[in-house]
Amino acid sequence: MVLSPKKLVHSKWTAINPQNREKYFMVVRLVQDEIDPKIVTEVTLEAVFSKRHLTLHWRDLSNKTIWKTGWH
């Protein structure tokens, strides 16, 4: 799957191995490179259940052993 950083905000994700009843997440923020703001470096996900935030490299969402696109 090819991810476009421009389309990540408000996208929905399902954790393959949920922890602490946090299965469903939504991208709430993009972290951009300080030198070149056109480059997205990280994304911040918000757990739907707990509202906890999780920041990770945006390409980590491509790992199908950890994340699935959409809410399943």
Q: What is the pLDDT of residues 13-57, one digit of tens each?
A: 999 999 999 999 999 999 888 998 888 889 999 999 999 999 999
Two tokens, residue 16: 């393959």
For residue 24, list its beta bridge partners.
Answer: 14
Q: Dihedrals φ, ψ of 26, to 5°?
A: -135, 140
What is the maximum alpha-carbon separation in the chain? 37
Sorted by where each begins, the domain ranges of the chain are 5-69
Is pLDDT larger for residue 2 or for residue 70?
A: 70
Asked whether residue 2 carries a pLDDT value surpassing 70, the answer given is: no
